[in-house]
Amino acid sequence: MELLKKRIVQDGNTIGNDVVKVDMFLNHQIDVELLNEIGKEFRKRFSSDKITKIVTIEASGIGIACIVAQYFGVPVIFAKKGANRNVGDNLYKADVYSFTKGTTTTIGISKDYLSKNDHVLIVDDFMANGKAVHGLLNILNQAGATVEGIGIVIEKGFQPGGDSLRSLGYKVESLAVIKSIDDGNIIFG
């Protein structure tokens, strides 16, 4: 998606050879107009009319998922992190290791909102090692839901998440794939 790649080059900040910060428009400040273009693009790439739910994980996936969901006419569910007395125990759960934070978090989705009749599009802002998506797949598997696809805004192509999911047979669409970061220059794949 050219508009997105241009924006990453224009407003992204690289740190070393493996981090791109897109805080300015994607996951701290959020350019909602750009998200609408992202929503249209995901609708094109995932044209199935079977999709019943968009599933993501808190926090930075939520805004993207909500704008994207408008193009599918379905609700969003976001997996919650950690324990919360208002969530209760009626949850599908999975453990997710975060390389960014160096910690493992339990994520959960209420059993009330996912069933074997659901056809799910997973949406998230970033894919690096794919641990968050694997956690969501674990939860969707517990619910017996069908995974229609995985839509990622920015994939770090030099990390194994995307390819490991494709090799398992999932339809993974990443709107910008970063092949490498070389001395501050972002090379797309």
Chain residues that interact with a copy of itself, rule: CB under 8 A: 19, 21, 23-25, 28-32, 35-36, 58-60, 62-63, 65-67, 69-70, 74-78, 80-81, 84-87, 100-101, 109-110, 112-113
CB of 38 to a copy of itself, least distance (A): 12
Going by C-alpha positions, the residue among 92, 173, 98 that lies closest to residue 140 is 92
13/166 with CB nearer a copy of itself: 13
CA 123 to mean position of chain CA atoms = 4
User: In whole angstroms, how close is the CB of 95 to a copy of itself at the nearest point?
Assistant: 18
Read off φ and ψ for residue 131, nearest 5 degrees: -65, -40
Q: How far apart are CA 65 and CA 109, in angstroms?
A: 15
Of 100 and 185, which CB lies nearer to a copy of itself in the complex structure? 100
Q: Whole-number minimum distance, CB 166 to a copy of itself, in Å?
A: 26
Distance CA 137, CA 96 (A): 11
Q: Which is nearer to a copy of itself, 17 or 166 (CB)?
A: 17
Give CA separation, 104 vs 60, 107, 131, 139, in Å.
17, 10, 10, 16
Say what angle helices 32-45 and 61-69 make with each other, to 10 degrees.
Answer: 60
Nearer to a copy of itself, 73 or 163 (CB): 73
Question: What's the closest the beta carbon of residue 169 comes to a copy of itself, in angstroms?
Answer: 27
Question: Which of 81/171 has CB closer to a copy of itself?
Answer: 81
- Least distance (Å) from a copy of itself to the CB of residue 9? 18
Longest dimension (CA), the chain: 48
